[in-house]
Amino acid sequence: MTKRFTLLTVALMSVTMLATSCCNKEENDNANCNADATINTIMQRKSVRSYNGDTIPADIMEKMLRAAVAAPSGMDVRPWHIVVMTDKSKYEEMFAGNFNMEKFMQSGAVVIFCADTTVTRPPRENPDAPAVTSPNPIWRDDLGACTENFLLAAEAYGLGAVWTACYPFHDRMDPVTNYLNLPGNIVPYSIVPVGYPTGDNQPKDKWDESRIHYEKF
Protein backbone atom coordinates (compact mmCIF):
# COMPACT_ATOMS: atom_id res chain seq x y z
CA MET A 1 0.00 0.00 0.00
CA THR A 2 2.75 2.38 1.04
CA LYS A 3 4.79 1.40 -2.04
CA ARG A 4 1.77 1.94 -4.31
CA PHE A 5 1.11 5.30 -2.65
CA THR A 6 4.74 6.33 -3.12
CA LEU A 7 4.67 5.31 -6.79
CA LEU A 8 1.46 7.27 -7.31
CA THR A 9 2.95 10.30 -5.62
CA VAL A 10 6.10 10.09 -7.75
CA ALA A 11 4.01 9.68 -10.90
CA LEU A 12 1.83 12.66 -9.97
CA MET A 13 4.89 14.76 -9.18
CA SER A 14 6.46 13.82 -12.51
CA VAL A 15 3.31 14.79 -14.43
CA THR A 16 3.14 18.07 -12.51
CA MET A 17 6.82 18.78 -13.18
CA LEU A 18 6.40 17.92 -16.84
CA ALA A 19 3.35 20.17 -17.10
CA THR A 20 5.23 22.95 -15.32
CA SER A 21 8.30 22.53 -17.47
CA CYS A 22 6.12 22.50 -20.63
CA CYS A 23 4.52 25.67 -19.45
CA ASN A 24 7.91 27.18 -18.67
CA LYS A 25 9.23 26.05 -22.02
CA GLU A 26 6.33 27.76 -23.76
CA GLU A 27 6.99 30.91 -21.77
CA ASN A 28 10.64 30.54 -22.54
CA ASP A 29 9.94 30.12 -26.25
CA ASN A 30 7.81 33.27 -26.20
CA ALA A 31 10.54 35.13 -24.34
CA ASN A 32 13.12 33.91 -26.85
CA CYS A 33 10.86 34.96 -29.67
CA ASN A 34 10.52 38.46 -28.16
CA ALA A 35 14.26 38.54 -27.58
CA ASP A 36 14.90 37.59 -31.22
CA ALA A 37 12.62 40.38 -32.44
CA THR A 38 14.25 42.92 -30.12
CA ILE A 39 17.79 41.89 -30.99
CA ASN A 40 16.90 41.88 -34.67
CA THR A 41 15.67 45.48 -34.46
CA ILE A 42 18.88 46.50 -32.70
CA MET A 43 21.08 44.70 -35.25
CA GLN A 44 19.14 46.09 -38.23
CA ARG A 45 19.29 49.72 -37.11
CA LYS A 46 21.34 51.88 -39.42
CA SER A 47 21.63 55.54 -40.23
CA VAL A 48 19.27 56.43 -43.07
CA ARG A 49 19.79 59.73 -44.82
CA SER A 50 17.34 59.62 -47.74
CA TYR A 51 13.56 59.48 -47.51
CA ASN A 52 10.57 59.58 -49.84
CA GLY A 53 9.01 62.68 -48.25
CA ASP A 54 5.88 60.90 -46.95
CA THR A 55 4.49 62.07 -43.66
CA ILE A 56 4.60 59.77 -40.63
CA PRO A 57 1.21 58.88 -39.11
CA ALA A 58 0.70 60.65 -35.78
CA ASP A 59 0.07 57.42 -33.87
CA ILE A 60 3.38 55.94 -35.06
CA MET A 61 5.19 59.14 -34.10
CA GLU A 62 3.64 59.01 -30.63
CA LYS A 63 4.72 55.40 -30.16
CA MET A 64 8.29 56.30 -31.11
CA LEU A 65 8.23 59.22 -28.70
CA ARG A 66 6.90 56.96 -25.94
CA ALA A 67 9.78 54.57 -26.63
CA ALA A 68 12.21 57.49 -26.52
CA VAL A 69 11.12 58.65 -23.08
CA ALA A 70 11.14 55.09 -21.72
CA ALA A 71 14.94 55.52 -21.64
CA PRO A 72 16.85 55.17 -18.39
CA SER A 73 17.69 58.43 -16.67
CA GLY A 74 20.26 59.19 -13.99
CA MET A 75 18.47 59.81 -10.68
CA ASP A 76 15.30 59.50 -12.80
CA VAL A 77 15.47 63.20 -13.61
CA ARG A 78 14.16 62.66 -17.20
CA PRO A 79 15.61 65.93 -18.46
CA TRP A 80 14.33 65.57 -22.04
CA HIS A 81 12.10 67.95 -23.97
CA ILE A 82 11.38 66.84 -27.51
CA VAL A 83 10.36 69.12 -30.36
CA VAL A 84 8.68 67.35 -33.28
CA MET A 85 8.62 69.34 -36.52
CA THR A 86 6.48 68.00 -39.33
CA ASP A 87 5.98 71.30 -41.19
CA LYS A 88 8.73 71.15 -43.81
CA SER A 89 8.57 74.89 -44.46
CA LYS A 90 9.44 75.50 -40.79
CA TYR A 91 12.41 73.19 -40.59
CA GLU A 92 13.60 74.36 -43.99
CA GLU A 93 13.55 77.87 -42.59
CA MET A 94 15.30 76.80 -39.39
CA PHE A 95 18.05 74.93 -41.24
CA ALA A 96 18.52 77.37 -44.14
CA GLY A 97 22.24 77.61 -44.94
CA ASN A 98 23.05 74.70 -42.60
CA PHE A 99 25.00 72.30 -44.81
CA ASN A 100 24.71 69.41 -42.37
CA MET A 101 20.91 69.58 -42.20
CA GLU A 102 19.92 70.75 -45.68
CA LYS A 103 20.37 67.23 -47.05
CA PHE A 104 17.59 65.91 -44.82
CA MET A 105 14.75 68.03 -46.16
CA GLN A 106 12.89 65.03 -47.60
CA SER A 107 12.35 63.52 -44.17
CA GLY A 108 8.79 63.09 -42.90
CA ALA A 109 9.71 64.88 -39.67
CA VAL A 110 12.64 66.35 -37.82
CA VAL A 111 12.77 65.54 -34.13
CA ILE A 112 14.90 67.67 -31.87
CA PHE A 113 15.96 66.16 -28.57
CA CYS A 114 16.58 68.89 -26.03
CA ALA A 115 17.69 68.76 -22.41
CA ASP A 116 16.82 70.73 -19.36
CA THR A 117 20.33 71.01 -17.99
CA THR A 118 19.11 71.84 -14.51
CA VAL A 119 17.32 69.82 -11.87
CA THR A 120 14.79 71.42 -9.57
CA ARG A 121 14.03 69.47 -6.41
CA PRO A 122 14.84 69.37 -2.70
CA PRO A 123 18.52 68.81 -1.97
CA ARG A 124 19.33 65.09 -1.85
CA GLU A 125 20.62 65.30 1.69
CA ASN A 126 17.44 67.03 2.91
CA PRO A 127 14.34 65.83 1.02
CA ASP A 128 12.01 67.95 3.20
CA ALA A 129 13.72 71.24 2.32
CA PRO A 130 12.31 73.56 -0.39
CA ALA A 131 13.27 72.68 -3.98
CA VAL A 132 16.44 74.21 -5.35
CA THR A 133 17.67 74.36 -8.93
CA SER A 134 21.11 72.96 -9.61
CA PRO A 135 23.04 71.77 -12.68
CA ASN A 136 22.41 68.19 -13.76
CA PRO A 137 25.89 66.85 -14.58
CA ILE A 138 24.66 63.76 -16.47
CA TRP A 139 21.93 65.08 -18.75
CA ARG A 140 23.93 64.10 -21.87
CA ASP A 141 23.82 60.42 -20.95
CA ASP A 142 20.04 60.54 -20.56
CA LEU A 143 19.61 62.32 -23.87
CA GLY A 144 21.82 59.78 -25.65
CA ALA A 145 19.70 56.92 -24.33
CA CYS A 146 16.52 58.77 -25.30
CA THR A 147 17.79 59.45 -28.84
CA GLU A 148 18.87 55.82 -29.33
CA ASN A 149 15.50 54.51 -28.12
CA PHE A 150 13.82 56.69 -30.74
CA LEU A 151 16.13 55.36 -33.48
CA LEU A 152 15.35 51.77 -32.48
CA ALA A 153 11.61 52.44 -32.49
CA ALA A 154 11.94 54.01 -35.95
CA GLU A 155 13.72 50.88 -37.17
CA ALA A 156 10.98 48.71 -35.66
CA TYR A 157 8.35 50.65 -37.64
CA GLY A 158 10.26 50.36 -40.91
CA LEU A 159 11.25 54.00 -40.84
CA GLY A 160 14.71 55.38 -41.48
CA ALA A 161 16.39 57.91 -39.21
CA VAL A 162 19.79 59.36 -38.48
CA TRP A 163 21.21 60.84 -35.29
CA THR A 164 22.80 64.16 -36.17
CA ALA A 165 24.96 65.93 -33.65
CA CYS A 166 23.83 69.27 -32.32
CA TYR A 167 25.36 69.81 -28.84
CA PRO A 168 28.14 70.98 -28.31
CA PHE A 169 28.54 72.62 -31.73
CA HIS A 170 27.35 76.20 -31.55
CA ASP A 171 26.93 76.53 -35.31
CA ARG A 172 24.33 73.75 -35.04
CA MET A 173 22.79 74.67 -31.69
CA ASP A 174 22.34 78.39 -32.17
CA PRO A 175 19.96 78.31 -35.17
CA VAL A 176 17.75 75.83 -33.28
CA THR A 177 17.88 77.78 -30.02
CA ASN A 178 17.04 81.00 -31.84
CA TYR A 179 14.33 79.60 -34.11
CA LEU A 180 12.57 77.74 -31.29
CA ASN A 181 13.25 80.48 -28.79
CA LEU A 182 14.58 77.98 -26.26
CA PRO A 183 15.09 79.21 -22.68
CA GLY A 184 18.68 79.36 -21.39
CA ASN A 185 18.46 76.08 -19.46
CA ILE A 186 17.19 74.12 -22.47
CA VAL A 187 19.92 72.82 -24.78
CA PRO A 188 19.29 71.20 -28.18
CA TYR A 189 21.26 67.96 -27.97
CA SER A 190 20.55 65.91 -31.09
CA ILE A 191 18.50 66.31 -34.26
CA VAL A 192 16.91 63.24 -35.83
CA PRO A 193 15.42 63.44 -39.33
CA VAL A 194 13.05 60.49 -39.78
CA GLY A 195 11.05 59.25 -42.75
CA TYR A 196 10.26 56.40 -45.07
CA PRO A 197 13.62 55.27 -46.43
CA THR A 198 14.74 55.26 -50.03
CA GLY A 199 17.93 53.73 -51.41
CA ASP A 200 19.88 50.79 -50.14
CA ASN A 201 20.49 51.12 -46.40
CA GLN A 202 22.29 48.29 -44.69
CA PRO A 203 23.39 47.86 -41.09
CA LYS A 204 27.13 47.62 -40.47
CA ASP A 205 28.73 44.63 -38.83
CA LYS A 206 30.59 46.23 -35.94
CA TRP A 207 31.50 43.10 -33.99
CA ASP A 208 35.21 43.11 -33.20
CA GLU A 209 36.18 40.48 -30.70
CA SER A 210 39.40 42.28 -29.83
CA ARG A 211 37.29 45.03 -28.24
CA ILE A 212 35.63 42.64 -25.82
CA HIS A 213 37.52 41.97 -22.62
CA TYR A 214 36.62 39.34 -20.09
CA GLU A 215 37.64 39.77 -16.48
CA LYS A 216 40.68 41.92 -17.39
CA PHE A 217 41.64 44.40 -20.14
For ligand FMN, the binding residues (CB under 6 A) are: 46-47, 49, 100, 162-165, 204
CB of 100 to ligand FMN, least distance (A): 5
Distance CA 148, CA 193 (A): 13
Looking at beta carbons only, is 83 or 121 nearer to ligand FMN?
A: 83
CB of 169 to ligand FMN, least distance (A): 9
Looking at beta carbons only, is 119 or 150 nearer to ligand FMN?
A: 150
Residue pair 83/116 in contact (Cβ under 8 Å)? The answer is no
CB of 83 to ligand FMN, least distance (A): 17
CB of 192 to ligand FMN, least distance (A): 10
Distance CA 95, CA 105 (A): 9
Looking at beta carbons only, is 117 or 190 nearer to ligand FMN?
A: 190
Q: Which of 20-30 are b and which e, b meaning 16 or more Cβ less than 10 Å from the residue's Cβ? A: eeeeeeeeeee
State whether the Cα torsion 102-87-187-184 is positive or negative: positive
Beta-ladder partners of 161:
47, 194
Looking at beta carbons only, is 21 or 44 nearer to ligand FMN?
A: 44
Distance CA 191, CA 83 (A): 9
Distance CA 110, CA 140 (A): 20
Looking at beta carbons only, is 119 or 143 nearer to ligand FMN?
A: 143
CB of 125 to ligand FMN, least distance (A): 34
